[in-house]
Structure 1
Amino acid sequence: MGSDPSPARIIFGGSPDFAVPCLAALADSRHDVVAVLTQPDRPAGRGRKLSAGPVKQFAIARGIDVLQPTTLSEAATQDALRTLRPDLMLIVAYGLLLPPAVLEIPRAGCINVHASLLPRWRGAAPIQAAILAGDEVSGVSIMRMEAGLDTGPVYATRKLTIAATETADSLHDRLAALGAELLTEVLDGILAGTVVATPQNHDAANYAGRISKTDAVIDWHRSANQIDRQVRAYRSWPVAETLLDGKRTRCWAAAPVRESASLDEPSGAPGRVIGVASDGIDVMTGDGVLRLTEIQMPGKQRMAAAQFANGYPVDGKLLGQ
């Protein structure tokens, strides 16, 4: 990360696994990670025991002090951050709001690695939003944080191409690695003031709001391409779902098909199963046919849709009710 002999004192803030590659790059650099901010432990697993998140686990393994406040608005927490005398705060998918008083603590300010090409897809779920919209390009942005949501000037961006079959999981991993790569290249320049931030075009901004479970419910009146993107965008959570014989059925994988397994010209009400192919179940949509290739019934394991159809007659059934 450059040849400046003076290492910076950096506080890192992040919580999920998306943030780990950036923290790893920082920990391997010449700079001093004086503390890691991460969200409080949360219940996980069948026993619902408190579990440390990925960033905390990494920090502990590397011997970095961990702070887990429930909010950054309290004076005591802000005083604790000031005593660390940070030159910079680096935030990657932290999940807590940084009030103005915190933004002013580091000498060189606070920067954020964001999983989109700002100003497109500001907000909480840019990866899913890019897939849902059918974007062909995504990337990462490193910006200077300010009071607005992802509105700060941008130091650097890096693009990648979204594959036609990209899922949120695969794009997440690629962007996480790309963010760490870009951070490694520009961090010293940001600290030295030689990398200058450019204001965003706020008129071109759009937002990716938080995802809810209801977003995953399939509307079969939409096109096959739209539903395919929905399945790929929500593959890790909350997972696209529909009703089969009144049972909530998860749809883990699907693809639009040009030639249906139906013996006739594809037709029927949206949601109607019109045939079973060797690799899936063909469902009529509002525009085109979608082939479900991996599904999961309640209380059952995920399985190939064609295998499921061998033991559970689905031809002619209407999904979504």
Structure 2
Amino acid sequence: MKNIKIIFAGTDKFSSIHLNELIVKKFNILAVITKIDKKIGRGKKIQFSEIKKIAIKNKLSLIQLNSLNSEKYYKILKKLKPDIMIVVSFGLMIPNKIIKIFSLGCINIHTSLLPKFRGPSPIQSVILKGKKKTGISIIQINDKLDAGNIVYKKSINIKKKDTYKTLKKKLCILGKKSLIKFLKNIFLKKNISIPQKENDATYTKKIYKKDGLINWNEKASKIEKKVRAFNTWPGTFFFINKIMIKIWKVNIVQSHKKTTPGKIIKADSNGILISTKKNFINIIKLQISGKKKNTVDKIIHSYKKLFQIGNII
């Protein structure tokens, strides 16, 4: 099993944890592919990807690029005579010409139970939709978005308080275990390949900063899901006197009262209670623009004037 010759492609921390698992388990990694370094800030400081850091630390052959649509990289990869390409949070398309190099194909680890929630934001989307289960799907890469045959699938439960951050961590642990299990199945010749049911497919959309703006005319249940789904990015927020207030933790307070959505009902050490289309949202952890995030009980007295009872926000 350890003699399977692997090319690994990824970029972020999620992918780096999977790469590290392969290293710990002593798999034969011929090369690691990641994107070209980013330049950030006014000083144009170079930012290495998490994948690059691990590759350098473990003295792995590193290929950096912004596209695989090049004869140069086709020749490089073909010369290595790899068996399989493992793609995790890479963000670049894999051309068919490249896929054909690998005798065991190219596989991708996707954070949903495909064919549901294809696309760029499956973790956020299952929380927004109030789903009770999600999981990891390992698929064969083809020329369509997340549509390849499923070669391994494993589910987990979503807890009521799960945020994007906590759920992603759980899926990362599940993902690296699933990857090793899949590779073992290849060795034991127990691997499967099940076509996805296209009629059951659903798609997620790219999330933008503006999506985090709270609309108090929505139900409290929908706002609460948004707070969890967008933690940590883009966050959920609203404005008072042009000051941005970020919300990090809330609970729902049931109410049959008909009150103008966005009205501040109460503001004390127990929370900031705001009316919605149905029920109230009680903010218990927040962040004033330019300040650190904190629980309401620790900052409410300093910002009492900002949260005047009866004001509509």
TM-score by length of 1: 0.91
Q: Are the aligned partners of 1:125 and 1:211 in contact in 2 as well (CA < 8 Å)?
A: yes
- 1:102 is aligned to 98
- 2:266 is aligned to 275
- 2:296 is aligned to 305
- The whole-number CA distance in structure 1 between the counterparts of 2:143 and 2:96 is 6
- After TM superposition, the structure 1 stretch with the greater mean CA deviation from structure 2, 138-147 or 186-195, is 186-195
Q: Are the aligned partners of 2:269 and 2:300 in contact in 1 as well (CA < 8 Å)?
A: no
- After TM superposition, the structure 1 stretch with the greater mean CA deviation from structure 2, 185-194 or 95-104, is 185-194
After TM superposition, give the deviation of residue 277 of structure 1 in Å.
4.1
Aligned partner (choices 123, 127, 151) of residue 123 of structure 2: 127
Aligned partner (choices 277, 287, 297) of residue 286 of structure 1: 277
After TM superposition, give the deviation of residue 316 of structure 1 in Å.
2.0
- 2:312 is aligned to 318
- 2:170 is aligned to 174
2:39 is the alignment partner of 1:57: no
Computed over aligned residues only, the root mean square deviation of the Cα atoms, in angstroms, reads: 1.8
After TM superposition, give the deviation of residue 190 of structure 1 in Å.
3.0
Gaps of 5+ in 2: none
- The whole-number CA distance in structure 2 between the counterparts of 1:190 and 1:202 is 26
Q: Identity percentage over the alignment? A: 30
- 2:114 is aligned to 118
The residue type paired with residue 270 of structure 1 is P
The residue type paired with residue 311 of structure 2 is K
Aligned partner (choices 211, 215, 218) of residue 211 of structure 2: 215
Q: Compared with structure 1, are the counterparts of its residues 214 and 80 closer, same or farther at alpha carbon in structure 2 (3 Å cutoff)?
A: same
SS in 1 for 2:65: coil
Q: Are the aligned partners of 1:108 and 1:191 in contact in 2 as well (CA < 8 Å)?
A: no
- 2:18 is aligned to 22
- The whole-number CA distance in structure 1 between the counterparts of 2:189 and 2:43 is 49
After TM superposition, give the deviation of residue 155 of structure 1 in Å.
1.0
Aligned partner (choices 74, 94, 118) of residue 70 of structure 2: 74
The residue type paired with residue 33 of structure 1 is I
Q: Are the aligned partners of 1:39 and 1:68 in contact in 2 as well (CA < 8 Å)?
A: yes
* 1:268-309 CA-partner distances (Å, limit 9, x unpaired): 211111112433101101111011112222222212234333
* 1:23-67 CA-partner distances (Å, limit 9, x unpaired): 122112343111111122223578551111212212211111221
2:187 is the alignment partner of 1:196: no
Q: Which runs of 4+ in 1 moved over 4 A?
A: 44-48
- The whole-number CA distance in structure 2 between the counterparts of 1:295 and 1:24 is 35
After TM superposition, give the deviation of residue 214 of structure 1 in Å.
1.3
The residue type paired with residue 292 of structure 2 is Q
- After TM superposition, the structure 1 stretch with the greater mean CA deviation from structure 2, 23-32 or 136-145, is 23-32
2:26 is the alignment partner of 1:35: no
After TM superposition, give the deviation of residue 11 of structure 1 in Å.
0.4
Q: Are the aligned partners of 2:36 and 2:64 in contact in 1 as well (CA < 8 Å)?
A: yes
- After TM superposition, the structure 1 stretch with the greater mean CA deviation from structure 2, 187-196 or 84-93, is 187-196
- After TM superposition, the structure 1 stretch with the greater mean CA deviation from structure 2, 89-98 or 276-285, is 276-285
- 1:262 is aligned to none
Please give the residue correspondences for 1:224-263 in structure 2 after superposition, counting only pairs within 5 Å. 224-258=220-254
Gaps of 5+ in 1: 260-264
- The whole-number CA distance in structure 1 between the counterparts of 2:289 and 2:110 is 35
* 1:227-265 CA-partner distances (Å, limit 9, x unpaired): 111111111111111111222221122121237xxxxx7
Q: Compared with structure 1, are the counterparts of its residues 186 and 36 closer, same or farther at alpha carbon in structure 2 (3 Å cutoff)?
A: same
- The whole-number CA distance in structure 2 between the counterparts of 1:221 and 1:62 is 52
- After TM superposition, the structure 1 stretch with the greater mean CA deviation from structure 2, 41-50 or 212-221, is 41-50
Q: Are the aligned partners of 1:139 and 1:160 in contact in 2 as well (CA < 8 Å)?
A: yes
- After TM superposition, the structure 1 stretch with the greater mean CA deviation from structure 2, 128-137 or 75-84, is 75-84
TM-score by length of 2: 0.93
SS in 1 for 2:260: coil
Q: Are the aligned partners of 2:13 and 2:51 in contact in 1 as well (CA < 8 Å)?
A: yes
